């Protein structure tokens, strides 16, 4: 219960941010810049924490293997279930030609985030071994990030009513969540993990900065790194596969990136799916961005 309350306290700024609405373009631009720098700072700090982990060299292969298993399990079930959903309930959408250079630019942006984590690891190796990062550093940074994201979502002009009346977006979000949690539970079962931990690790839905931080707080740096790599891997996979999936499986294409459909993968969705795919992506990802922190806190604070 104490762990659940601690995680809930960390998530509080997200909901506080929903009550703050900015209107001036300059203010919104500053919030966007602050969000980007906050993400990079959190990734750097997480890298430093990884460097200070005992026997990092011996654990890195395990981290990659576990993250690969979770990524493979969740993506496999996602593609099977969402592919069935598109065939069973087809959604007609005009699909224009994709712009490959834009996809490459987005892919490079994801690799930059991986590079920031590596930079953090290198900084951690340079720092004296006697120096230890303050225990609550990641928590405080995460609270700042969530406050900024809450303000950003509230100020984006997206009315909750508009999101919820997009029937296809709501359906896609619910099917995606169930499929992802099922895939994560299967992956965790193969590793012998408790169901609650398996579900917590798979509840990031591509929101790597949040999942890595929350799982670090809940289960330690090792599992934080697993969650981070799992969700970063989802983003990279989505950037590559969205254009190929959009024509025949639009709901799968929009959902494959999870929470990133509201930011990193939205330009690729727009270019490959056209303007008609944007409302679906916004509705879907807005719901996912609301559910991800709630589900992560619930499962990480549970024991079953």
Backbone angles phi, psi at 284, to 5 degrees: -60, -50
Look at residue 100 in the predicted model and tell me its pLDDT: 47
Answer for the pair 204, 67: CB distance below 8 angstroms, yes or no. no
Crossing angle between the packed helical segments 56-88 and 221-246, to the nearest 10 degrees: 30
Average pLDDT rounded to a whole number, residues 225-235: 88
The answer to whether 288 and 173 are in contact (CB under 8 A) is yes
Looking at residue 96, its pLDDT comes to 52
- Split at pLDDT 50, 70, 90, the class of 172 is very high
| pLDDT at 21 (0 to 100) | 82
User: pLDDT by residue (tens digit) across 55-110?
Assistant: 666 688 889 999 999 999 999 999 999 999 999 998 876 545 444 445 566 566 66
Q: How far is CA 182 from CA 34, 178, 192, 209, 287, in A?
A: 35, 6, 15, 22, 18
Lowest-confidence range among 80-89, 160-169, 189-198, 289-298?
160-169
Distance CA 120, CA 99 (A): 33
CA distance 56 to 42: 19
pTM above 0.85, yes or no: no
Kindly compute the dihedral angle of the four CA atoms of residues 280, 165, 180, 120, in this order, to the nearest 10 degrees: 60
């Amino acid at each position: 219960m104490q762990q659940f309350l601690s995680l809930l306290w960390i998530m509080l700024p997200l909901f506080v941010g929903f009550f703050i609405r900015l209107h001036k373009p300059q203010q919104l631009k500053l919030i966007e810049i602050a969000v980007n720098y906050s993400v990079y700072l959190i990734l750097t700090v997480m890298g430093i924490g990884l460097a200070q982990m005992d026997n990092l060299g011996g654990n890195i292969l395990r981290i990659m293997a576990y993250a690969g298993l979770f990524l493979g399990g969740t993506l496999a079930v996602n593609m099977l279930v969402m592919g069935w959903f598109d065939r069973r309930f087809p959604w007609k959408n005009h699909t224009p030609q994709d712009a490959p250079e834009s996809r490459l630019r987005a892919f490079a942006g994801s690799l930059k985030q991986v590079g920031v984590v590596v930079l953090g690891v290198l900084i951690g190796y340079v720092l004296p071994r006697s120096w230890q990062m303050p225990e609550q550093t990641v928590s405080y940074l995460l609270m700042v990030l969530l406050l900024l994201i809450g303000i950003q979502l509230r100020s984006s002009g997206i009315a909750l009513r508009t999101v919820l009346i997009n029937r296809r977006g709501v359906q896609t979000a619910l099917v995606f969540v169930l499929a992802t949690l099922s895939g994560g539970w299967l992956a965790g079962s193969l590793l012998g993990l408790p169901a609650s931990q398996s579900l917590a690790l798979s509840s990031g839905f591509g929101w790597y900065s949040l999942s890595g931080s929350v799982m670090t707080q809940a289960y330690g740096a090792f599992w934080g790194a697993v969650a981070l790599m799992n969700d970063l891997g989802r983003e990279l996979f989505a950037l590559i596969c969205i254009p190929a999936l959009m024509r025949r499986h639009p709901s799968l294409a929009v959902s494959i990136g999870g929470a990133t459909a509201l930011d990193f993968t939205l330009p690729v969705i727009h270019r490959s799916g056209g303007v008609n795919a944007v409302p679906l992506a916004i509705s879907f990802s807005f719901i996912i961005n609301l559910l991800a922190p709630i589900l992560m806190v619930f499962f990480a604070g549970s024991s079953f």
